[in-house]
Structure 1
């Protein structure tokens, strides 16, 4: 069973030697306004923010969202994590990763290689191939993958330092559809950095992932498409912290029968009759 020391405060986590304190990673798409994007990033406390390279390349110089993202990252000190969203082959994803490295001067990339349009499920074969090539070319690859254990092991073998299994299809808001598979990943890959990515809809979903022992959570639509993105970002931040604290504290085991919280001693065999 994957466990860490529960003594003292949460010491944070790290990726490729970069120390991070926040376990909330936030996407930058679909916000109602540039101001909502900026305020949500600040409210979340996120230190890693993802951006779709295709959107940036298609944006005009006057695009307020791109400008707001750039300014907010500079003032908050958050790191940008470009992604290869919209790619359907290893070749396209590799090409886009190189464009992102040149544009943003970062060797971090969130690798997405989609295999099916309806579910936006990652293509495991193309994903592993792209990861293997990009790691060899000096990238720190954050692969968006399913919760399949064998695929995750192949990604680790390819040199990935982080795995990002989905909770549910992107933007579906369904939460953790297969808790068994996610718990299996955490238990079978105790030394891997695991981040639940995609499909979360409510803060309770994020808390559930953190209670399983996942290292962090990445989401976008649950915040950006909510009625009040800034307040929802705050809610998720609190839920992620609560889930992490619960994991460190150690939840009680489930039982099929009641266990009294207050011992009452042996029950009398000859109770006194009521008068």
Structure 2
């Protein structure tokens, strides 16, 4: 079974590409290429992220192609599963560096998709909102479909949309923390204030229940890496997250019951007794 046939949730889009799986998977840190391949199959993911710093040479340092073999492994795996590659600029500290890396990725991988990351703080790896907007604006002009990794701050998100981004990737918590949704209110606000923008929760999810919670808020998709690659059984965990994402989306589409601070009887009591014959 290929990735394109595993998910039963409603379809969505990245640019002009229709997707059915709402689970995007990172490819770093797996015990072996074979475990990675099996995890991708189990996840049903149709989009795989690829860290450029890991696979491309820094300008002025060695072979410009930068291919250390990992790129071909991911290419072959993606092709076999019918998945799309989403290169990212993780590790970049400036707009200029991220823009340069994005152009290298387009040449090497033949895709105009780019997950844009510009780090602003070394401890939290929080995105730099100013460099991020600058890089996004330029890359949109250069013909990229820009998916910026950002915080859950509404004003920063609006600036990225103004720069031409149709998809945003707000964090749930700092990268690799596994803390889950630290501020559900902020994510819910993003959903309400940016109804026409695709929102993919990225970073900080550590358990399948976190993914379900994100999807129940009406977010469009979930991207994660460490929670699967660092699990005792990455393949089993990938499968668990796939089902969690689908369950959360189904719950949102079905309509969650309203919450109440008091008990509400499930069986109404009428004023007259009655007898079933």
Give the alignment's TM-score, normalised by structure 1.
0.91
Aligned to 2:131: 126
Per-residue CA distance 1:42-96 (angstroms, 9 max, x = gap): 1101110000111112698674x54432221111110000000110000000000
In the aligned structure 2, how far is the partner of 1:157 from the partner of 1:222? 32
Aligned to 2:54: 55
Q: Select which of 139, 152, 157 maps to 2:157.
A: 152
Is the 8 Å Cα contact of residues 147 and 182 (structure 1) preserved in structure 2? yes
Are positions 1:197 and 2:197 aligned together? no
Aligned to 1:271: none
Are positions 1:143 and 2:144 aligned together? no
Is the 8 Å Cα contact of residues 38 and 68 (structure 1) preserved in structure 2? no
The Cα of 1:121 is off from its aligned counterpart by 0.1
Distance 1:109 1:61, change over 3 A: closer
Q: Select which of 153, 158, 168 maps to 2:173.
A: 168
Three-state SS of the structure 2 residue aligned to 1:120 is coil
In the aligned structure 2, how far is the partner of 1:124 from the partner of 1:266? 61
Are positions 1:15 and 2:20 aligned together? no
Give the 4+ runs in structure 1 shifted more than 6 A.
Answer: 59-62
Q: Select which of 109, 120, 138 maps to 1:104.
A: 109
In the aligned structure 2, how far is the partner of 1:206 from the partner of 1:267? 46
Structure-to-structure mapping, 1:204-243, within 5 angstroms? 204-243=209-248
Are positions 1:80 and 2:85 aligned together? yes
Aligned to 2:263: 258
Please provide the CA RMSD for this pair: 1.7
Is the 8 Å Cα contact of residues 86 and 115 (structure 2) preserved in structure 1? yes
The Cα of 1:105 is off from its aligned counterpart by 0.9
In the aligned structure 1, how far is the partner of 2:206 from the partner of 2:68? 32
Larger radius of gyration: 1
Aligned to 1:25: 24
The Cα of 1:267 is off from its aligned counterpart by 10
Structure 2, unpaired ranges of 5+: 1-7, 58-64
Three-state SS of the structure 1 residue aligned to 2:56 is helix
Per-residue CA distance 1:16-46 (angstroms, 9 max, x = gap): 1110110000000011111111111111011
Is the 8 Å Cα contact of residues 37 and 69 (structure 1) preserved in structure 2? no
The Cα of 1:266 is off from its aligned counterpart by 4.8
Is the 8 Å Cα contact of residues 35 and 68 (structure 1) preserved in structure 2? no
Are positions 1:115 and 2:120 aligned together? yes
The Cα of 1:11 is off from its aligned counterpart by 3.3
In the aligned structure 2, how far is the partner of 1:231 from the partner of 1:145? 29
Structure 1, unpaired ranges of 5+: 1-8, 269-275
In the aligned structure 1, how far is the partner of 2:68 from the partner of 2:53? 16
Aligned to 2:43: 44
Give the alignment's TM-score, normalised by structure 2.
0.90
Instruction: After superposing the two structures, state which structure 1 stretch, 50-59 or 102-111, moved more.
Output: 50-59
In the aligned structure 1, how far is the partner of 2:210 from the partner of 2:90? 23
In the aligned structure 2, how far is the partner of 1:10 from the partner of 1:229? 23
